[in-house]
Amino acid sequence: MTKLIFEKSSEHRSACDFPFVKEKNSIPKSLLKESNTSLGLPELSELEIIRHYVHLASLNFNIEKGLYPLGSCTMKYNPRINEDMAGLSGFSNLHPYAPQDLVQGALKLMYEVEQWLCELTGMSAVTLQPAAGAQGEFTGLKLIRAYHLDKGLKKTKILIPDSAHGTNPASSTLCGYDVQKVPSNSIGLLDIEQVSKVLDDDVAALMMTNPNTLGLFEENIVAIAKLLHQKNALLYCDGANFNALMGQAKLAEMGVDVLQFNLHKTFSTPHGGGGPGAGPVGVTEKLKPYLPLPRVIKEKDFYKLETQSQKSIGRLKGFYGNFGVLVRAYTYMRAMGQEGLKKVSQMAVLNANYIKHRLKDAYDLPYNDRPCMHEVIFSDKKQLKHSIKTLDIAKRLMDFGFHPPTVYFPLIVSGALMIEPTETESKEEIDRFCDAMIAIAKECESNPQKVHEAPHTTPVRRVDEVKAARNLILTYQNPTTR
């Protein structure tokens, strides 16, 4: 068991000596020692601290260790140059209330991120404020509500396909709407007939994820948008899966009115662990007046923040959103260029189809053998015969050095394994992953017990996941009562 840093502490040990304490007018050494002890902070040498954290980091899995194929999460590699740019002192030391003529570069950067997102989707304007995809959804729904109220329309319902991400119904409910589920058809798509059956005057919008969470392109999008617009309802697109469409087709031209991006998925900025992200929201012309404030606007060559607008839904987040994430995304866009971004989605789709092709004999493909987009969904149907479930397969993959894919989602696939390789993986790494998946499928027949008891090589074996969620204990020992 790894010891806590508090348990490794040894009195009067320290990571640095302050040479200046010997000089006149400096902080007395006694004061430093005393405050350290009274605060109860651990006392270790520099090497001990480094070893402690390097060891902890090595217990965890990360994209630098190997393939991280979490479907819908787009766990791709974030180039280091993004971090370098975000770390430039001109960005990282900015005060959000600095006078606008001193921060022209930062305002220009935000303005240009908006321009790029508009260009890629055909939307008219974008707000960069939301801190995550889910907050982007919430913002988008607020915009839809403001639009309808402004027109004197009282709408109460949001239609959501049964394949949707859980945040869609959650955001709708949080926004005060009732949610109505729309079933997908036998080939995993939204059906025009099913939508028209439930579409009435109370419907404010339909939330579509395209490509959907089965990794399939919603082919009826244009017809569905038309149907909605006839009833004064809007089409919201959850753009978290934009990695499949980027540079290929513009969602606004398919009839999408509101769209959220996940910069921390598509635009190569860090995510995971609840860290800062960015979920910008794009809108068409008719929803522009309701966008949150402040907004970056350009007058001649001067960038400024617009803080007043009659119809705005107001502010969604402190200051201007997670600015550091925007710098990373901007760096990524500029480094890739338009052609590069186009190539990203082509390679992401190619990689997923390659995996589908390599694994389709070993694993069940629940939605026929149609070309997929950026991710492919298998199920555990074939392995169930040997009493092996999706969870067992996922755990066994860890022994092969891979992060498991997303499991048991989307909910409409029983025992789903949702694999998204992303474009940043080489063919060699993808082949290694497929070889491991095929080896596991064989093991399910030859040695199911081994799969069932996996993982065998990780620092922590199988945990009781229900107990872990219900009886959350964040330390195994209270350091202050030591």
* Contact positions vs ligand PLP (CB under 6 A): 72, 132-134, 165, 167, 209, 213, 238, 240-241, 262, 277, 279
User: Cis (ω within 30 of 0) for the bond into 455?
Assistant: yes
From the CB of 399, what's the least distance to ligand PLP, in Å?
27
Q: Are 80 and 63 in contact (CB under 8 A)?
A: no
- Whole-angstrom CA distances from 361 to 67, 108, 141, 382, 434 are 22, 51, 42, 10, 12
From the CB of 316, what's the least distance to ligand PLP, in Å?
13
| Nearest to ligand PLP of 107, 258 (CB atom) | 258
From the CB of 165, what's the least distance to ligand PLP, in Å?
3
| Nearest to ligand PLP of 242, 320 (CB atom) | 242
* Structure tokens, 477: 């020992």
DSSP 288-343: GGG--S-EEEEETTEEEEE---TT-----SSBTB-HHHHHHHHHHHHHHHHHHHHH
From the CB of 133, what's the least distance to ligand PLP, in Å?
2
| Nearest to ligand PLP of 410, 415 (CB atom) | 410
* Paired strand residues for 178: 157
| Nearest to ligand PLP of 133, 404 (CB atom) | 133
d(CA 467, CA 482): 26
| Nearest to ligand PLP of 43, 420 (CB atom) | 420
From the CB of 168, what's the least distance to ligand PLP, in Å?
7
Closest CA to 441 of 374, 401, 385: 385
Give, in degrees to the nearest 5, the angle at Cα 251 between 250 and 252.
95
Residue nearest to ligand PLP (CB): 133
From the CB of 325, what's the least distance to ligand PLP, in Å?
11
| Sequence-ordered list of residues with C-beta below 8 angstroms from that of 362, at least 6 positions apart, any chain | 382, 437, 438, 441
| Nearest to ligand PLP of 121, 241 (CB atom) | 241
